[in-house]
A and B are shown apart, each in its own frame.
Chain A
Amino acid sequence: MSGEVIGVWIGAILTLGIFSFLYKDNPFYKFSEALFVGISAGYWFVVTFWQYFVPKFWDNLALAYSELLTKGRVDYHWIYLVGGFFGVLMLLRLVPKIGWLSRWSLAFIVGTTAGLQFTRYLESNGIKQVVGTISPLLVSGNMNATIGNIIIVVGTFCGLIYFFFSKEHKGAFGGAARVGVWFLMITFGALFGYTVMSRMSLLIGRMDYLFGIWLSLY
Protein backbone atom coordinates (compact mmCIF):
# COMPACT_ATOMS: atom_id res chain seq x y z
CA MET A 1 0.00 0.00 0.00
CA SER A 2 1.52 3.33 -1.04
CA GLY A 3 1.89 6.33 1.25
CA GLU A 4 -0.79 8.14 -0.73
CA VAL A 5 -3.36 5.34 -0.23
CA ILE A 6 -2.55 5.12 3.50
CA GLY A 7 -3.02 8.92 3.70
CA VAL A 8 -6.46 8.69 2.06
CA TRP A 9 -7.51 5.94 4.49
CA ILE A 10 -6.35 7.99 7.50
CA GLY A 11 -8.17 11.07 6.17
CA ALA A 12 -11.37 9.07 5.51
CA ILE A 13 -11.36 7.42 8.95
CA LEU A 14 -10.84 10.79 10.67
CA THR A 15 -13.59 12.36 8.51
CA LEU A 16 -15.99 9.60 9.62
CA GLY A 17 -14.82 10.13 13.21
CA ILE A 18 -15.90 13.79 13.14
CA PHE A 19 -19.17 12.98 11.34
CA SER A 20 -19.97 10.32 13.98
CA PHE A 21 -20.90 13.25 16.27
CA LEU A 22 -24.12 13.59 14.23
CA TYR A 23 -25.25 10.34 15.85
CA LYS A 24 -24.10 11.29 19.36
CA ASP A 25 -20.97 12.19 21.36
CA ASN A 26 -18.76 9.06 21.31
CA PRO A 27 -15.12 7.99 21.90
CA PHE A 28 -14.40 7.84 18.15
CA TYR A 29 -15.41 11.53 17.81
CA LYS A 30 -13.51 12.48 20.99
CA PHE A 31 -10.36 10.83 19.65
CA SER A 32 -10.65 12.72 16.32
CA GLU A 33 -11.40 15.97 18.16
CA ALA A 34 -8.38 15.55 20.50
CA LEU A 35 -6.15 14.76 17.52
CA PHE A 36 -7.46 17.87 15.75
CA VAL A 37 -6.64 20.04 18.79
CA GLY A 38 -3.12 18.60 19.11
CA ILE A 39 -2.35 18.79 15.41
CA SER A 40 -3.75 22.35 15.13
CA ALA A 41 -1.50 23.48 18.01
CA GLY A 42 1.50 21.81 16.38
CA TYR A 43 0.62 23.21 12.96
CA TRP A 44 0.53 26.80 14.27
CA PHE A 45 3.69 26.20 16.30
CA VAL A 46 5.58 25.15 13.15
CA VAL A 47 4.06 27.93 10.99
CA THR A 48 4.92 30.71 13.49
CA PHE A 49 8.36 29.19 14.03
CA TRP A 50 9.37 29.22 10.33
CA GLN A 51 7.42 32.28 9.21
CA TYR A 52 7.89 34.67 12.15
CA PHE A 53 10.37 33.45 14.77
CA VAL A 54 13.17 32.39 12.41
CA PRO A 55 13.08 35.23 9.80
CA LYS A 56 12.23 38.07 12.18
CA PHE A 57 14.28 37.04 15.23
CA TRP A 58 16.78 34.24 14.62
CA ASP A 59 18.05 35.35 11.19
CA ASN A 60 18.56 38.94 12.36
CA LEU A 61 20.52 37.82 15.40
CA ALA A 62 22.58 35.41 13.28
CA LEU A 63 23.41 38.32 10.96
CA ALA A 64 24.42 40.53 13.90
CA TYR A 65 26.55 37.74 15.34
CA SER A 66 28.35 37.09 12.05
CA GLU A 67 29.03 40.85 11.69
CA LEU A 68 30.53 40.84 15.15
CA LEU A 69 32.70 37.84 14.34
CA THR A 70 33.88 38.91 10.88
CA LYS A 71 34.15 42.71 11.21
CA GLY A 72 34.28 43.05 14.97
CA ARG A 73 31.56 45.70 15.07
CA VAL A 74 28.20 45.82 16.84
CA ASP A 75 25.55 45.74 14.14
CA TYR A 76 22.07 47.37 14.49
CA HIS A 77 20.45 43.93 14.07
CA TRP A 78 21.11 43.32 17.78
CA ILE A 79 18.07 45.55 18.35
CA TYR A 80 15.90 42.51 17.55
CA LEU A 81 16.88 41.19 20.97
CA VAL A 82 14.34 43.68 22.35
CA GLY A 83 11.54 41.85 20.49
CA GLY A 84 12.82 38.55 21.90
CA PHE A 85 12.97 40.09 25.38
CA PHE A 86 9.30 41.13 25.17
CA GLY A 87 8.47 37.66 23.84
CA VAL A 88 10.09 36.00 26.85
CA LEU A 89 8.19 38.41 29.13
CA MET A 90 5.00 37.08 27.55
CA LEU A 91 5.91 33.52 28.62
CA LEU A 92 6.35 34.74 32.22
CA ARG A 93 2.56 34.72 32.50
CA LEU A 94 2.96 31.08 33.50
CA VAL A 95 5.07 32.11 36.54
CA PRO A 96 2.54 33.50 39.07
CA LYS A 97 4.99 35.67 41.09
CA ILE A 98 6.30 37.66 38.12
CA GLY A 99 3.36 37.09 35.78
CA TRP A 100 2.58 40.83 35.82
CA LEU A 101 5.64 41.42 33.59
CA SER A 102 3.72 39.85 30.68
CA ARG A 103 1.58 43.02 30.68
CA TRP A 104 4.53 44.87 29.15
CA SER A 105 4.45 42.60 26.12
CA LEU A 106 0.68 42.84 26.01
CA ALA A 107 0.95 46.64 26.15
CA PHE A 108 3.30 46.56 23.16
CA ILE A 109 0.88 44.34 21.20
CA VAL A 110 -2.10 46.55 22.12
CA GLY A 111 -0.23 49.76 21.24
CA THR A 112 0.96 48.44 17.87
CA THR A 113 -2.48 47.11 16.97
CA ALA A 114 -4.23 50.34 18.03
CA GLY A 115 -1.79 52.51 16.05
CA LEU A 116 -1.92 50.33 12.93
CA GLN A 117 -5.69 49.86 12.92
CA PHE A 118 -6.32 53.57 13.56
CA THR A 119 -5.00 54.61 10.14
CA ARG A 120 -5.93 51.38 8.35
CA TYR A 121 -9.62 51.38 9.34
CA LEU A 122 -9.96 55.14 8.93
CA GLU A 123 -8.65 54.87 5.38
CA SER A 124 -10.22 51.63 4.07
CA ASN A 125 -13.41 51.24 6.13
CA GLY A 126 -14.09 54.94 6.75
CA ILE A 127 -12.96 57.38 4.08
CA LYS A 128 -13.04 55.02 1.08
CA GLN A 129 -16.59 53.86 1.90
CA VAL A 130 -17.81 57.44 2.36
CA VAL A 131 -16.19 58.46 -0.94
CA GLY A 132 -17.81 55.43 -2.63
CA THR A 133 -21.21 56.46 -1.29
CA ILE A 134 -21.00 60.07 -2.47
CA SER A 135 -22.19 59.50 -6.02
CA PRO A 136 -24.67 61.37 -8.29
CA LEU A 137 -28.27 60.51 -7.45
CA LEU A 138 -29.46 61.20 -10.99
CA VAL A 139 -27.65 59.48 -13.85
CA SER A 140 -29.10 60.81 -17.11
CA GLY A 141 -30.32 58.12 -19.46
CA ASN A 142 -29.68 55.28 -17.01
CA MET A 143 -32.64 54.53 -14.78
CA ASN A 144 -31.01 51.43 -13.20
CA ALA A 145 -27.94 53.40 -12.07
CA THR A 146 -30.17 56.22 -10.75
CA ILE A 147 -32.30 53.84 -8.64
CA GLY A 148 -29.18 51.92 -7.54
CA ASN A 149 -27.35 55.05 -6.40
CA ILE A 150 -30.41 56.33 -4.52
CA ILE A 151 -30.72 52.96 -2.73
CA ILE A 152 -27.02 52.98 -1.79
CA VAL A 153 -27.06 56.57 -0.47
CA VAL A 154 -30.36 56.19 1.42
CA GLY A 155 -29.43 52.73 2.76
CA THR A 156 -26.00 53.77 3.99
CA PHE A 157 -27.32 56.98 5.55
CA CYS A 158 -30.24 55.27 7.30
CA GLY A 159 -28.00 52.41 8.45
CA LEU A 160 -25.64 54.92 10.05
CA ILE A 161 -28.61 56.64 11.73
CA TYR A 162 -29.56 53.29 13.29
CA PHE A 163 -26.03 53.06 14.81
CA PHE A 164 -26.37 56.54 16.33
CA PHE A 165 -27.50 55.91 19.89
CA SER A 166 -26.99 59.41 21.36
CA LYS A 167 -30.51 60.42 20.26
CA GLU A 168 -33.69 58.49 20.95
CA HIS A 169 -35.05 56.70 17.88
CA LYS A 170 -38.36 58.62 17.64
CA GLY A 171 -40.24 60.54 14.93
CA ALA A 172 -38.46 61.09 11.58
CA PHE A 173 -35.17 60.01 13.15
CA GLY A 174 -36.76 56.77 14.34
CA GLY A 175 -38.34 56.23 10.90
CA ALA A 176 -34.96 56.60 9.21
CA ALA A 177 -33.42 54.20 11.74
CA ARG A 178 -36.18 51.68 10.93
CA VAL A 179 -35.39 51.92 7.20
CA GLY A 180 -31.72 51.43 8.18
CA VAL A 181 -32.68 48.22 10.00
CA TRP A 182 -34.31 46.89 6.81
CA PHE A 183 -31.09 47.43 4.85
CA LEU A 184 -29.06 45.84 7.65
CA MET A 185 -31.42 42.84 7.65
CA ILE A 186 -30.89 42.36 3.91
CA THR A 187 -27.12 42.50 4.50
CA PHE A 188 -27.31 39.97 7.34
CA GLY A 189 -29.52 37.74 5.16
CA ALA A 190 -26.93 37.87 2.38
CA LEU A 191 -24.09 37.14 4.84
CA PHE A 192 -26.07 34.26 6.30
CA GLY A 193 -26.74 32.89 2.80
CA TYR A 194 -23.04 32.96 1.96
CA THR A 195 -22.11 31.33 5.28
CA VAL A 196 -24.58 28.48 4.68
CA MET A 197 -23.27 28.06 1.13
CA SER A 198 -19.63 27.93 2.29
CA ARG A 199 -20.47 25.26 4.88
CA MET A 200 -22.46 23.30 2.28
CA SER A 201 -19.55 23.51 -0.14
CA LEU A 202 -17.23 22.09 2.56
CA LEU A 203 -19.76 19.30 3.19
CA ILE A 204 -19.92 18.51 -0.54
CA GLY A 205 -16.10 18.46 -0.58
CA ARG A 206 -15.99 15.92 2.28
CA MET A 207 -18.64 13.75 0.61
CA ASP A 208 -16.67 13.93 -2.62
CA TYR A 209 -13.56 12.83 -0.67
CA LEU A 210 -15.36 9.88 0.93
CA PHE A 211 -17.28 8.60 -2.09
CA GLY A 212 -15.02 9.73 -4.94
CA ILE A 213 -11.45 9.50 -3.61
CA TRP A 214 -11.70 6.96 -0.79
CA LEU A 215 -14.37 4.52 -2.09
CA SER A 216 -13.80 5.41 -5.81
CA LEU A 217 -17.52 5.09 -6.53
CA TYR A 218 -17.33 7.50 -9.47
Chain B
Amino acid sequence: MRREVPLVLTAIVGITMIIAHFIPPLNILKNLFEDWFFIIAAFAIYLGILNLILINGDKIYKKQKGWPFGVVVILGFLVITVIGIFFSGGKSFQDPGTPFYYIYMNLYYPLSATMFALLAFFVASASYRAFRARNVEATMLLGAAFILMLGRVPIGYWISTWLGHTLANAADWIMDFPQLAGQRAIMIGIALGVVSSALRVILGLERAYSAGE
Protein backbone atom coordinates (compact mmCIF):
# COMPACT_ATOMS: atom_id res chain seq x y z
CA MET B 1 0.00 0.00 0.00
CA ARG B 2 2.74 2.45 1.00
CA ARG B 3 4.94 1.63 -2.01
CA GLU B 4 2.54 0.31 -4.65
CA VAL B 5 -0.11 3.07 -4.68
CA PRO B 6 2.36 5.91 -5.47
CA LEU B 7 3.97 3.86 -8.27
CA VAL B 8 0.63 2.96 -9.87
CA LEU B 9 -0.65 6.53 -9.49
CA THR B 10 2.47 8.00 -11.13
CA ALA B 11 2.26 5.51 -14.02
CA ILE B 12 -1.45 6.11 -14.70
CA VAL B 13 -1.21 9.91 -14.55
CA GLY B 14 2.06 10.09 -16.50
CA ILE B 15 0.91 7.76 -19.29
CA THR B 16 -2.44 9.61 -19.56
CA MET B 17 -0.66 12.97 -19.93
CA ILE B 18 1.56 11.59 -22.73
CA ILE B 19 -1.24 9.76 -24.58
CA ALA B 20 -3.53 12.82 -24.37
CA HIS B 21 -0.95 14.74 -26.42
CA PHE B 22 -1.52 12.35 -29.34
CA ILE B 23 -5.25 11.61 -28.83
CA PRO B 24 -7.05 15.00 -28.49
CA PRO B 25 -10.35 13.63 -27.03
CA LEU B 26 -8.33 12.62 -23.96
CA ASN B 27 -7.55 16.30 -23.36
CA ILE B 28 -10.59 16.42 -21.02
CA LEU B 29 -8.73 14.05 -18.70
CA LYS B 30 -5.46 15.91 -19.19
CA ASN B 31 -7.09 19.25 -18.28
CA LEU B 32 -8.72 17.69 -15.21
CA PHE B 33 -5.38 16.27 -14.06
CA GLU B 34 -3.77 19.69 -14.63
CA ASP B 35 -6.46 21.34 -12.47
CA TRP B 36 -5.89 18.77 -9.71
CA PHE B 37 -2.16 19.39 -10.09
CA PHE B 38 -2.66 23.12 -9.38
CA ILE B 39 -4.87 22.36 -6.37
CA ILE B 40 -2.24 19.99 -4.92
CA ALA B 41 0.55 22.47 -5.75
CA ALA B 42 -1.35 25.16 -3.80
CA PHE B 43 -1.58 22.80 -0.81
CA ALA B 44 2.13 21.99 -1.19
CA ILE B 45 2.90 25.71 -0.87
CA TYR B 46 0.62 25.88 2.20
CA LEU B 47 2.54 22.93 3.66
CA GLY B 48 5.80 24.82 3.23
CA ILE B 49 4.35 27.97 4.79
CA LEU B 50 2.83 26.01 7.67
CA ASN B 51 6.22 24.45 8.29
CA LEU B 52 7.86 27.91 8.31
CA ILE B 53 5.31 29.15 10.86
CA LEU B 54 5.77 26.04 13.04
CA ILE B 55 9.57 26.37 13.02
CA ASN B 56 9.43 30.06 13.93
CA GLY B 57 6.67 29.45 16.50
CA ASP B 58 8.85 26.80 18.15
CA LYS B 59 11.81 29.20 18.12
CA ILE B 60 9.72 31.86 19.89
CA TYR B 61 8.21 29.38 22.38
CA LYS B 62 11.64 28.06 23.39
CA LYS B 63 13.15 31.59 23.38
CA GLN B 64 15.98 30.39 21.13
CA LYS B 65 18.71 32.73 19.86
CA GLY B 66 17.24 35.39 17.56
CA TRP B 67 13.62 34.62 18.50
CA PRO B 68 12.43 38.25 18.01
CA PHE B 69 13.13 37.81 14.27
CA GLY B 70 10.77 34.80 14.35
CA VAL B 71 8.07 37.20 15.57
CA VAL B 72 8.84 39.48 12.60
CA VAL B 73 8.48 36.52 10.18
CA ILE B 74 5.08 35.52 11.59
CA LEU B 75 3.79 39.09 11.83
CA GLY B 76 4.90 39.87 8.27
CA PHE B 77 3.15 36.72 7.06
CA LEU B 78 -0.07 37.41 8.96
CA VAL B 79 -0.35 41.06 7.93
CA ILE B 80 -0.01 40.48 4.16
CA THR B 81 -2.14 37.31 4.25
CA VAL B 82 -5.06 38.86 6.16
CA ILE B 83 -4.96 42.00 4.00
CA GLY B 84 -4.63 40.02 0.75
CA ILE B 85 -7.46 37.61 1.50
CA PHE B 86 -10.02 39.78 3.33
CA PHE B 87 -9.37 43.44 2.46
CA SER B 88 -8.11 43.61 -1.15
CA GLY B 89 -11.18 43.00 -3.29
CA GLY B 90 -11.00 39.22 -3.75
CA LYS B 91 -9.65 38.04 -7.11
CA SER B 92 -8.61 41.57 -8.12
CA PHE B 93 -6.23 41.71 -5.14
CA GLN B 94 -3.28 42.71 -7.35
CA ASP B 95 -4.97 45.75 -8.91
CA PRO B 96 -3.37 49.17 -8.26
CA GLY B 97 -5.00 50.91 -5.30
CA THR B 98 -5.67 47.81 -3.18
CA PRO B 99 -3.96 47.47 0.24
CA PHE B 100 -2.23 44.30 -1.07
CA TYR B 101 -0.77 46.29 -3.99
CA TYR B 102 0.45 48.94 -1.51
CA ILE B 103 2.30 46.31 0.54
CA TYR B 104 3.67 44.71 -2.62
CA MET B 105 5.04 48.02 -3.97
CA ASN B 106 6.39 49.42 -0.70
CA LEU B 107 7.57 46.33 1.18
CA TYR B 108 7.80 43.18 -0.96
CA TYR B 109 9.28 44.74 -4.12
CA PRO B 110 11.96 46.91 -2.39
CA LEU B 111 13.03 43.95 -0.25
CA SER B 112 13.21 41.39 -3.07
CA ALA B 113 14.82 43.78 -5.60
CA THR B 114 17.47 44.86 -3.05
CA MET B 115 18.14 41.26 -2.04
CA PHE B 116 18.92 40.40 -5.69
CA ALA B 117 20.77 43.70 -6.25
CA LEU B 118 23.00 42.75 -3.31
CA LEU B 119 24.22 39.83 -5.41
CA ALA B 120 25.80 42.32 -7.85
CA PHE B 121 28.52 43.00 -5.24
CA PHE B 122 29.13 39.31 -4.58
CA VAL B 123 29.16 38.49 -8.32
CA ALA B 124 31.75 41.27 -8.81
CA SER B 125 34.03 39.97 -6.04
CA ALA B 126 33.57 36.32 -7.12
CA SER B 127 34.41 37.12 -10.75
CA TYR B 128 37.52 38.99 -9.67
CA ARG B 129 38.75 35.77 -8.04
CA ALA B 130 37.44 33.27 -10.61
CA PHE B 131 38.03 35.10 -13.89
CA ARG B 132 41.65 34.44 -14.67
CA ALA B 133 42.65 33.57 -18.20
CA ARG B 134 44.53 30.42 -17.10
CA ASN B 135 43.71 28.31 -20.17
CA VAL B 136 41.89 28.48 -23.53
CA GLU B 137 38.47 27.60 -22.05
CA ALA B 138 38.66 30.21 -19.27
CA THR B 139 39.87 32.83 -21.77
CA MET B 140 36.91 32.12 -24.07
CA LEU B 141 34.44 32.42 -21.18
CA LEU B 142 36.07 35.64 -20.01
CA GLY B 143 36.24 37.07 -23.55
CA ALA B 144 32.59 36.28 -24.36
CA ALA B 145 31.34 37.79 -21.09
CA PHE B 146 33.55 40.89 -21.50
CA ILE B 147 32.55 41.61 -25.12
CA LEU B 148 28.87 40.97 -24.39
CA MET B 149 28.70 43.19 -21.31
CA LEU B 150 30.64 46.01 -22.96
CA GLY B 151 28.68 45.71 -26.20
CA ARG B 152 25.34 46.19 -24.41
CA VAL B 153 26.04 49.27 -22.25
CA PRO B 154 26.42 53.01 -23.17
CA ILE B 155 30.19 53.11 -22.54
CA GLY B 156 30.53 50.16 -24.92
CA TYR B 157 28.49 52.06 -27.48
CA TRP B 158 30.81 55.09 -27.20
CA ILE B 159 33.90 52.91 -27.61
CA SER B 160 32.18 51.14 -30.50
CA THR B 161 31.42 54.42 -32.25
CA TRP B 162 35.07 55.35 -31.90
CA LEU B 163 36.13 51.93 -33.24
CA GLY B 164 33.47 51.86 -35.96
CA HIS B 165 30.69 49.81 -34.28
CA THR B 166 32.81 46.65 -34.02
CA LEU B 167 32.11 45.97 -30.32
CA ALA B 168 28.31 46.02 -30.58
CA ASN B 169 28.53 43.95 -33.77
CA ALA B 170 30.86 41.45 -32.05
CA ALA B 171 28.37 41.08 -29.16
CA ASP B 172 25.53 40.46 -31.63
CA TRP B 173 27.65 37.97 -33.58
CA ILE B 174 28.52 36.03 -30.41
CA MET B 175 24.85 35.84 -29.45
CA ASP B 176 23.68 34.83 -32.95
CA PHE B 177 26.22 32.11 -33.73
CA PRO B 178 28.66 30.52 -31.21
CA GLN B 179 26.39 31.23 -28.19
CA LEU B 180 23.39 29.86 -30.09
CA ALA B 181 25.30 26.68 -30.99
CA GLY B 182 26.29 26.05 -27.35
CA GLN B 183 22.78 26.89 -26.18
CA ARG B 184 21.29 24.40 -28.64
CA ALA B 185 23.64 21.64 -27.52
CA ILE B 186 22.60 22.30 -23.90
CA MET B 187 18.88 22.42 -24.80
CA ILE B 188 18.99 19.18 -26.80
CA GLY B 189 20.96 17.56 -23.95
CA ILE B 190 18.35 18.74 -21.44
CA ALA B 191 15.52 17.41 -23.66
CA LEU B 192 17.13 13.97 -23.85
CA GLY B 193 17.73 14.00 -20.09
CA VAL B 194 14.16 15.06 -19.26
CA VAL B 195 12.65 12.47 -21.63
CA SER B 196 14.72 9.62 -20.20
CA SER B 197 14.11 10.73 -16.58
CA ALA B 198 10.35 11.06 -17.22
CA LEU B 199 10.24 7.57 -18.71
CA ARG B 200 12.16 6.12 -15.77
CA VAL B 201 9.74 7.79 -13.32
CA ILE B 202 6.60 6.69 -15.21
CA LEU B 203 7.84 3.11 -15.61
CA GLY B 204 8.67 2.91 -11.90
CA LEU B 205 12.43 2.52 -12.38
CA GLU B 206 13.11 5.76 -10.48
CA ARG B 207 11.49 5.59 -7.02
CA ALA B 208 13.42 8.15 -4.97
CA TYR B 209 10.29 10.31 -4.50
CA SER B 210 8.37 7.44 -2.86
CA ALA B 211 11.14 6.47 -0.43
CA GLY B 212 11.59 7.45 3.23
CA GLU B 213 9.08 7.86 6.01
Contact = CB atoms under 8 A, between A and B. Distances in A.
A175 interface: no
B117 A163 contact: no
Interface string A2-20: 0100011011101100110
B17 A122 contact: no
A190 B148 CA distance: 6
Majority SS of interface residues in chain B? helix
A182 B183 CA distance: 12
Contact of A34 (B18, B76, B179): B76
Interface residues on B, range: 35 or more
B181 A46 contact: no
Given A107-B210, A111-B12, 20 more contacts: A7-B105, A10-B107, A14-B107, A21-B118, A42-B77, A46-B84, A48-B41, A80-B35, A108-B37, A111-B13, A115-B18, A185-B144, A186-B182, A188-B141, A189-B142, A193-B146, A193-B152, A196-B127, A205-B117, A206-B114
A160 B17 contact: no
A100 interface: yes
Interface string B105-149: 111111111111111110110010000000011101111111011
Contacts of A105: 40, 43-44
Contacts of A218: none
Interface string A93-104: 110100110011
B178 A90 contact: no
A91 B43 contact: yes
Contact of B209 (A10, A34, A93, A106): A106
B17 A111 contact: yes
Interface in B147-195: 148-149, 152-153, 174-192, 194-195
Contact of A14 (B70, B81, B114): B114
B51 interface: yes
A202 B113 contact: yes
A24 B90 CA distance: 41
Nearest to A44: B45
B176 to A, nearest CB: 7
Interface of A: 3, 7-8, 10-12, 14-15, 18-19, 21-22, 30-46, 48-50, 52-57, 60, 79-80, 82-84, 86-88, 90-91, 93-94, 96, 99-100, 103-119, 121-122, 124-126, 129-130, 132-133, 147-148, 151-160, 162-163, 180-190, 192-197, 199-200, 202-203, 205-206, 209
12 contacts: A11-B106, A36-B111, A79-B32, A83-B36, A107-B5, A109-B37, A115-B15, A157-B185, A180-B185, A187-B179, A189-B140, A193-B149
A110 B46 contact: no
B43 A151 contact: no
